Structure 1
């Protein structure tokens, strides 16, 4: 979740014809269909339960929870993951953002950010549930990653390739970008491993601002291509959630980038071989196009219904509006045959 979203709550509408004069065009396919509760979605995290039920968790409302029989829906809002908020108390106006949920050891783990726009003293908490249903979650408080002036502790992502593999815990937004560390064996606390930087962009966008390009929302996913196992670090870059009359210059708005490595801890490089931590690397996966503006807050999951890899995200539709509460849930399928993820119909 972009924690510098200075205009996130500003409402505004812009016609499609006017919007498209400012947005880049491409050959990206439109998002796959979404039915039911598909609006007011930011930073979604999607998992599939063993009974076939899909669960979606997202920013706003103390982590909104929705369920569906398929990735396309129909999605039904079920309530808040933490109706009373977090046991972490940082400030009176704090919000819960950017959940990341996975299943292991017979239960679901949900990592969530506690923050406020522009606030660097954030923390990430963790809650657990056997079923994932609303009303069954136990909050365990902060995972205890130490604070630093180098990073902000939001946008968590847990990765473990197998039941006996070491875990990798990715986090970070703005400041010096995306970092990695690990958690304890019970996945509830920081392991003590010093965080290391894995993605950062020091360049300044063309749109006037006094800070470098936003790099955030790291998400790890592995895939084997022609006998080589690659670890893909997806991340969001650019500005999210601007008002209709204050849109970023084309290309500077939110978009989904990727780098890859042969180890889950890097070093990660882009398709041109540029290092993603020290060389401003990053290969574009999905940018604004047609009725899709500022896609980001992404995750990746295998959809067993079609045996394909799905990239899911939030985005704005210019024909609906750019307001924070008008952002939508979307997803597209990915093709990894080239060694790099390509969005396909």
Structure 2
């Protein structure tokens, strides 16, 4: 009995946080983990935006309230997909806002907030405008090995040039400073495979109610440099469907060109398990406390599809490319 209890104590089972926690991002700072999740139009118990959890082991999470102080005009607006980085004594949070008084006339837009502590509260300080897009979401800041910061994000494309399909795709731009884009965005990857379709015959009010035969989605970019190459991970397809999962494209340079060769048939890194896991994705990467073992932190639907819950699984770099050792739904070894 004691041996069985000891074994159970050394394992975890997904979800590691059973509450609603979409689009999870985890920051590792000074031995602690801080997880930030989308609240949409909702507010946390302290009236803030973005649910904040803390942990020392990636498995046992405590609710720490909310992270972002609501900016002026926030009533009725959607706040999505926060990510946080630490730079020169300040924590910077990147996210998007759409709708409500703050975003009614401009569509979904990227914003940035700052705090002197990882848990906040964060105060909004600026807009990261992308004038040629009415829909910009899922900001991911990345610092290259030379110290230069870049911002990857998702935005809409309504053309079908060069064989690409209309829908949300991925781009990158240089950050002039932590709160300003250079305005030199480059396309990282656009949809070109059947599995990434979000919806067929979709009418889009943002684009004068134009109806698209197929609307595709690539979202949630997250970049890792491995063995000299840049891997831009992303989630593809409709988050409500079994097709939703995580794939990647790869380049020799931070600005590309990126290739998704091998992604034709479906997501290779993380995908649904029929009867057990639905909609795994919109992930971030984090190291366990040993500083070496890499985990994917992602959301997946509960059985009734009422909540997207926080899950973690190891990432392996294989000869075929990066692969998640999941999504798991049975006991797994605790992160070391």
TM-score in same-fold range (> 0.5)? yes
Separation in structure 2 between the aligned mates of residue 54 and residue 182 of structure 1, nearest angstrom: 27
2:22 counterpart (42, 55, 60): 42
1:145-294 equivalences in 2 (<5 Å): 145-148=130-133, 152-162=135-145, 164-174=146-156, 175-185=167-177, 187-192=178-183, 194-203=184-193, 205=197, 208-210=200-202, 211-224=214-227, 229-241=228-240, 248=241, 250-251=242-243, 254-272=244-262, 284-289=268-273, 290-294=275-279
- In the alignment, what sits opposite 1:114? 97
Match of 2:35 among 46, 56, 59: 56
Cα distance, 1:71–1:218 mapped onto 2, change above 3 Å: same
Give the unaligned 5+ runs of structure 1. Answer: 1-30, 242-247, 275-279
Q: In 2 relative to 1, CA 126–160 (structure 1 residues): closer, same or farther, beyond 3 Å?
A: same
Q: Which has the higher strand share?
A: 2
- Report the RMSD for the aligned CA atoms in angstroms: 2.8
Instruction: Establish whether residue 312 from structure 1 lines up as the match of residue 311 from structure 2.
Output: no
Q: Distance in 2 between matches of 1:188 and 1:291?
A: 41
* TM-score (norm. length: structure 2): 0.75
Q: How many residues get paired?
A: 281
Shift of the alpha carbon at 1:189? 1.5
Residue matched to 1:96: 79
CA distance 1:101–1:115, shift in 2 (3 Å): same
The alpha-carbon deviation at position 34 of structure 1 amounts to 5.3
Higher relative contact order (CA 8 A, sep 6+): 1
Name structure 2 gaps, 5 residues minimum: 1-10, 44-48, 157-166, 203-213, 326-331
